[in-house]
């Protein structure tokens, strides 16, 4: 079972517990946007939207970059789902590697047994 760092999980769930923030993520899934764009779209003040984006950023779900006087927002490089998928592929890699190791050890055990009989 894949486990996550508890703090990261808590931050993500807190970030996703708010309908506006989920809407912001959906919006950024379609295209990047500035804080001003997002504030207009969700009919909020600039300060209010900055707060929401800050929470999403803390959780690693969104990254922002200041270009001139505009702060651009896009989806974070890493989400929980993404990390889970990666860990799962990593596990599959090690599992097939260790399956092959099991076979090699099985061969060694048989060889040892045969040598033992000869003595």
Interface ranges with other proteins (CB under 8 A) = 1-5, 16-17, 19, 22, 25-26, 29, 75, 77-83, 85-91, 93-106, 108-109, 112
CB of 50 to other proteins, least distance (A): 22
Q: From the CA atom positions of the chain, what is the Rg in Å?
A: 25
Nearer Cβ to other proteins, position 5 or 45?
5
Q: Which residue is listed with tokens 């931050």?
A: 11
CB of 56 to other proteins, least distance (A): 12
CA distance 108 to 111: 5
70: helix, strand or coil: strand
* The length of the chain, given as a count of residues: 119
CB of 32 to other proteins, least distance (A): 13
The CA-CA-CA angle for residues 86, 89, 95, to 5°, reads 140
Nearer Cβ to other proteins, position 22 or 70?
22
Nearer Cβ to other proteins, position 47 or 77?
77
CB of 96 to other proteins, least distance (A): 5
CA distance 58 to 61: 8
Q: Which residue is listed with tokens 């708010």?
A: 18
Nearer Cβ to other proteins, position 4 or 40?
4
């Amino acid at each position: 079972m894949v486990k996550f760092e508890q703090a990261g999980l808590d931050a993500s769930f807190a970030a996703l517990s708010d309908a506006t923030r989920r809407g912001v993520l959906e919006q950024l899934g379609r295209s990047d946007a500035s804080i001003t764009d997002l504030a207009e779209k969700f009919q909020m003040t600039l300060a209010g939207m900055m707060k929401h984006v800050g929470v999403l950023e803390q959780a690693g779900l969104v990254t922002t970059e200041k270009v001139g006087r505009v702060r651009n927002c896009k989806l974070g490089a890493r989400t929980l789902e993404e990390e889970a998928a990666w860990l799962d592929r990593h596990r599959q890699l090690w599992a097939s590697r260790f399956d092959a190791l099991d076979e090699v050890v099985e061969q060694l055990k048989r060889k040892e047994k045969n040598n033992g009989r000869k003595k």
